[in-house]
Amino acid sequence: MTGVLNVYKEKGYTSHDVVAIIRRETKIKRVGHTGTLDPNATGVLPICIGPATKLSEHITSADKTYVAEVILGIETNTGDISGEVLLQKAVEFDRETITRVVNSFATRSEYMQVPPMFSAIKIGGKKLYELARKGETLDVPARPVTIHAIKILNFAVEKNSFTIEVDCSKGTYIRSLAVDIGRALGCGATMGELERTRSGKFLLSTAKKLDEIKIGRPENFIIPVDELLPYPKIYVHGDELRLALNGNALPTDSPAQSKFWICSDEKIIGLFASDAEKLRPEVML
């Protein structure tokens, strides 16, 4: 059993909880998620199973889409509504100004974003949230992220909030984006509800809840790796098969930078990349 499950993570579960449940249901030890979602967040959480865990980097590098609530007039230590309130200000709720400021975040090719202290980023070998829970704070360096598109879906004047949909690069923290929007508006902000609706090719519309997976059996929902990464296939036999199975390079006349699934008649052996001289193994399955 190898491939990826498109799981819909519900509220109250950590990403590690989901991994543990899938590990128990499949009876396979090699299980891993492809991008943490906070316990209060919901949405798409691709889970790699078996040898497909080696491909997690290829999957996590994809762009993401989120729908998030931005609550104005408040800042917290976590960047979301679950945290301790650090600041409260009166809000002048002007839809035109809010729209202009929100749209400005999509006009930058990159923007330097400071990740929240309550995040899984490691500094000095320790995760930031572990330090934050001890009351420690650090000057976390800003990182470049890209907001490909952002739009306001609705306003809730009575709650001093609005909802945005964001298409962004890997590594973008929507909590930090909400904080930055609030500061640009001059009143502060924090994130309320959050749902990831897309992670690369994985869509909310096809994600399965854990109960659905348990009832329907996980193997019925696993997406094969060659469907996720639809590279051409090369079937090898004889000496080339023996070379491939041992992780050795293969002769090729393919152009450089091309990638291929190298297969026997029975299975996919691995993902190989061409450097114009050889096909060299990138991920062995």
Three-state DSSP class for residue 217: coil
Question: Among the residues of 135-284, which ranges form H helices?
Answer: 174-185, 210-216, 225-228, 238-245
Per residue in 172-228, pLDDT (tens digit) is 999 999 999 999 999 999 999 999 999 998 999 999 999 999 888 888 899 998 888
For range 6-24, the mean pLDDT: 93
* d(C-alpha 44, C-alpha 196), whole Å: 6
* d(C-alpha 64, C-alpha 203), whole Å: 10
User: What are the Cα distances from residue 185, in Å, to 14, 71, 161?
Assistant: 32, 12, 13
Q: Is the pLDDT score of 276 beyond 80?
A: no
Per residue in 78-129, pLDDT (tens digit) is 899 988 999 999 999 999 999 999 999 987 778 899 887 666 666 666 666 6
- Fold: same for 3-62+201-226 and 64-196: yes
pTM: 0.88
CATH number of 64-196: 3.30.2350.10
First to last CA, the chain: 12
Place of tokens 């909880």: 17
Per residue in 20-39, pLDDT (tens digit) is 999 999 999 999 988 788 88
**Catalytic residue (one of 17, 38, 94, 226):** 38
**Domain residue ranges of the chain, discontinuous segments joined by +:** 3-62+201-226, 64-196, 231-284
Instruction: For 3-62+201-226, give the CATH class.
Output: alpha beta
Q: Does domain 231-284 bear CATH number 2.30.130.10?
A: yes
Give catalytic status of residue 253 as yes or no.
no
